Amino acid sequence: MFLTRWLRNNYLPIVSCLLAVHFISCVDKPATDTKDQILASVFNKKLLFSEVEDLIPAVNPDDSLVTINNLINRWIKKTLMMREAEKNIPKDLDIEQLVNDYRESLILNNYEQLLVEKNLDTLISEEEFQLYYESNKSQYILKYTIIQCLFINIPKDHPNVSSIRQIVKSNDPNIEELLSLSNGSFINSLIEPERWHKALDVIDLLPSNSVRIGDLTKNKLIDVTNGDDLYLLKILAKVPATNNAPLSYIKDQITRLILHQRRINLLESINELLYERELKNNNIKIYSE
């Protein structure tokens, strides 16, 4: 292919030079390059080497050649598509207005983000969580059964298997001791007692057809051996499908909703203060017929 031959003849020496400059950092790059290579052109538009130089890996010349080929092809296709798009702009499309609207939106969004970062109170009390939950819990109906549990999958001949079994079985399992006894030998585990899990996801961690959702009752220990593996599952809590989701399960969602509403209220308040200030300073005039 002509392009490939051209690149090998013209591009690789440039890459070699660039690599030398990269590794010998004491050499400064000229402010202007009067010999900037033209890599491709589409009608009257040209792609210069300097426009893609920073995107080329300074490692292997062959890798660089592949990269620059891809960059050229993407640029050509994008330029062709842009040309066609410009030829088919609807007559009633006000490009300048769209650009101005977009610019205003970027500036406004950036300023609002600065206001939020500086002024938004992100602390939510347990009372506020509880109040929101009680007022809206009918909106949070479970579509699936969830459980809190301890689950451990270890080799059945693990030297501390008896002690591990006792800890999992207990009503107040010591997680730190459990981790210490495991010596990093857990094949799989769920050891965050406060965390909720979809019951079916936990069942999938056990040998096939060994446990059903109906078997998952509070305080029950499920002890299954399969081949060389031992599976221990202690059910700490269970909420069946169609029940209200517990607050702890949806707390992250509630946090996002509360903060979102605070954000709206904050910006509206600042906007209102700004309006009142400038109205008082006679910088706002409303002309009516």
Tell me if 93 is assigned to some domain.
no
Q: Say if residue 217 is in the same domain as residue 165.
A: yes
Instruction: Please give the mean pLDDT across all residues of the chain.
Output: 87
Tell me if 99 is assigned to some domain.
no
The parent domain of residue 30 ranges over: 2-87
Number of domains in the chain: 3
Is it the case that residue 23 has pLDDT exceeding 50? no
Closest-CA residue to 192 (of 248, 140, 137, 246): 248
Tell me if 266 is assigned to some domain.
yes
Q: What is the pLDDT of residue 56?
A: 78
The pLDDT tens digits for 195-235 are 999 999 999 999 999 999 999 999 999 999 999 999 999 99
Q: Say if residue 152 is in the same domain as residue 222.
A: yes
The pLDDT tens digits for 152-173 are 999 999 999 999 999 999 988 9
Boundary residue ending a domain (207, 222, 239): 239
Task: Provide the Cα torsion 121, 122, 125, 128; round to 10°.
Answer: 80
Tell me if 125 is assigned to some domain.
yes
Judge whether 145 and 213 are in contact, CB under 8 Å: yes
Q: Say if residue 169 is in the same domain as residue 214.
A: yes
Q: Say if residue 190 is in the same domain as residue 266.
A: no
Q: What is the pLDDT of residue 60?
A: 67
The residues near 48 (Cβ < 8 Å, ≥ 6 apart) are: 36, 37, 38, 39
CATH of the domain at 222: 3.10.50
Q: Say if residue 48 is in the same domain as residue 178.
A: no
Q: Which band of pLDDT confidence, cut at 50, 70 and 90, is reported for residue 15?
A: very low
Q: Which band of pLDDT confidence, cut at 50, 70 and 90, is reported for residue 29?
A: very low
Distance of alpha carbon 282 from alpha carbon 286, whole angstroms: 10
The pLDDT tens digits for 141-155 are 999 999 999 999 999
- Residue found by looking up tokens 């009372």 in the block: 127
Is it the case that residue 22 has pLDDT exceeding 50? no
Q: Say if residue 52 is in the same domain as residue 186.
A: no
Q: Say if residue 78 is in the same domain as residue 136.
A: no
Tell me if 129 is assigned to some domain.
yes
The two tokens of residue 74 are 């993407």
Q: Say if residue 134 is in the same domain as residue 252.
A: yes
Tell me if 289 is assigned to some domain.
no
Q: Say if residue 41 is in the same domain as residue 56.
A: yes
Which of 21-35, 177-191, 217-231 has the weakest average pLDDT? 21-35
The two tokens of residue 26 are 């004491």
The whole model's pTM is what?
Answer: 0.69
Q: Say if residue 46 is in the same domain as residue 118.
A: no
- Residue positions counted in the chain: 289
Distance of alpha carbon 171 from alpha carbon 128, whole angstroms: 31
Q: Say if residue 202 is in the same domain as residue 232.
A: yes
Distance of alpha carbon 150 from alpha carbon 155, whole angstroms: 17
Tell me if 98 is assigned to some domain.
no
Distance of alpha carbon 35 from alpha carbon 1, whole angstroms: 24
Is it the case that residue 119 has pLDDT exceeding 80? yes
Handedness of CA 250, 253, 257, 260 (dihedral sign): positive
Q: Say if residue 154 is in the same domain as residue 232.
A: yes
Judge whether 143 and 241 are in contact, CB under 8 Å: yes
Boundary residue ending a domain (23, 56, 87): 87
Is it the case that residue 85 has pLDDT exceeding 60? yes
